[in-house]
Chains A and B, each alone.
Chain A
Amino acid sequence: MVLSLFLVTAVASFTLATIYNLTAEPIAQAREAKRQFAISQVVPEFDRLESRNFLPPDGGDSLEFNFAYKNNELVGIAVNTWTNRGYSGRITAMVGFNTDGTIIDVVHLQHAETPGLGDKIEKGKSDWSDQFRGIDPETTAIRVKKDNGDIDAITAATITARAYCDAVQRAYDTFASHVLSQTKQDGGPAL
């Protein structure tokens, strides 16, 4: 009895291990493709990526900075940022910066906001997030208008909009403290 159960589990696990090995790479590829796709949406065309992690100034998990190079020239920085102030849990997003600190574009990565309400942050669902394109966080307040900012909220989903602003702001703050400051000191683009 014990033997047969052992055999069953052994066969099963052998099969699974095989499948796992077969799929491990495609899975990794799929993940990588997804990441690259997200990055490519917020920075101009690139041929090389370099990633480093920086801690945001207000603490919390570190953000992944993807420096995108084309012909060895830095064309943009895609920052993988997050916020915990979403309506239901964490929202992650990719924010692309020009080297001067203006935002190229923003795209969401993952969220659990209510379909039909909070999911308007998704590019495919609404053009709400297009507002972030090209703004300079130095001069434009990344806050919803209700909070005296410059961003239009999503109707009936202010919480989500607010959270998204928070994520973008976090990306910028980290960017500012780790990258911009350095650029300013060195008088040229970092790295």
Chain B
Amino acid sequence: MKQWRNFTKGFIKDNPVFILLLGLCPALGVTTSAFNGFGMGLATTFVLLGSNTVVSIIKNVIPNKVRIPSFIVIIASFVTIVQLTMEAYMPELFDALGLFIPLIVVNCLVMGRAEAFGSKNNIGSSIVDAMGMGLGFTLALTMLGGVREILGAYSIFGIQLIPGVTDGMLVFVLAPGAFIGMGYLIILFNYLKKKTA
């Protein structure tokens, strides 16, 4: 039960993006479409999962003084893995996400979880936590991407909603739309959080 709550808390109550306001850069930067958001979310989840697991395995072996550098190295390794595999097998998505893939390494969410959770808990809980948070992150990015795609291009996951009409309200595809969409989604999540609390 506790694990379940650990797992689901990232969806609404402690949603890393909308409630905790972590990792805002990728959340704003790559969410021009639902699919991009989804892809970025999964990539981050993977890094989160990997680093959380490894950190919780080796937490006792690493001397305190070099704890942070070690974590950084571990996280960066996973990021590079994602980077390389994505470039190899999903070149389109790799192009779309661009700079933000290497920047997963500095995503506060990843580092924060590795430190706050991975370094203090056993493997099992760490995995659950990473999955929960990662999926919460994915959910958030997909939603933001979805909203922006629907308003900005009248489509969702690439499927046109109004046949023949391809131009939506362009702002939502551009930078201001990211901020604005995020602003209103935060309101929605605060409301949901209150509702479910």
Contacts and interface: CB of A to CB of B under 8 A. Distances in A.
Tell me whether A and B are bound partners.
Answer: yes
Interface string B78-102: 0011001101110100000000000
Contacts of B91: 30-31, 34
B66 A5 contact: yes
A128 B47 CA distance: 41
B121 interface: no
Best-buried of A2, A8, A114 by chain B (most CB within 10 Å): A8
Interface stretch (B20-28, B69-77, B182-190): B69-77
B174 A115 contact: yes
A71 interface: no
A137 B157 CA distance: 39
Nearest to B166: A125
Contacts of B65: 1
B58 to A, nearest CB: 8
Chain A contact residues, majority secondary structure: helix
A191 interface: no
Contacts of B80: 16, 19
A2 B70 CA distance: 11
Given A4-B61, A4-B70, A12-B73, A117 B170 contact: yes
Interface in B22-71: 32, 61-63, 65-66, 69-70
Counting chain B residues whose Cβ lies within 8 A of the other chain, the interface size class is 20 to 34
Interface stretch (A20-28, A95-103, A140-148, A179-187): A20-28
A116 interface: yes
Counting chain A residues whose Cβ lies within 8 A of the other chain, the interface size class is 20 to 34
A9 interface: yes
Nearest to B63: A1
B173 interface: yes
Interface in B133-149: none
A4 B84 CA distance: 26
Contacts of B84: 19-20, 23, 27
A126 interface: yes
Given A4-B66, A26-B89, A116 B74 contact: no
Given A4-B66, A26-B89, A15 B77 contact: yes
A116 B153 CA distance: 8
Interface string A19-62: 11001001101110010000000000000000000000000000
Interface of B: 32, 61-63, 65-66, 69-70, 73-74, 76-77, 80-81, 84-85, 87-89, 91, 152-153, 166-168, 170, 173-174
7 interchain residue pairs of minimum CB distance: A26-B88, A12-B77, A116-B170, A23-B88, A23-B84, A5-B66, A115-B173
15 contacts: A4-B61, A5-B66, A8-B69, A12-B76, A19-B80, A19-B85, A26-B89, A27-B84, A30-B87, A30-B91, A115-B170, A116-B153, A116-B173, A117-B170, A125-B166
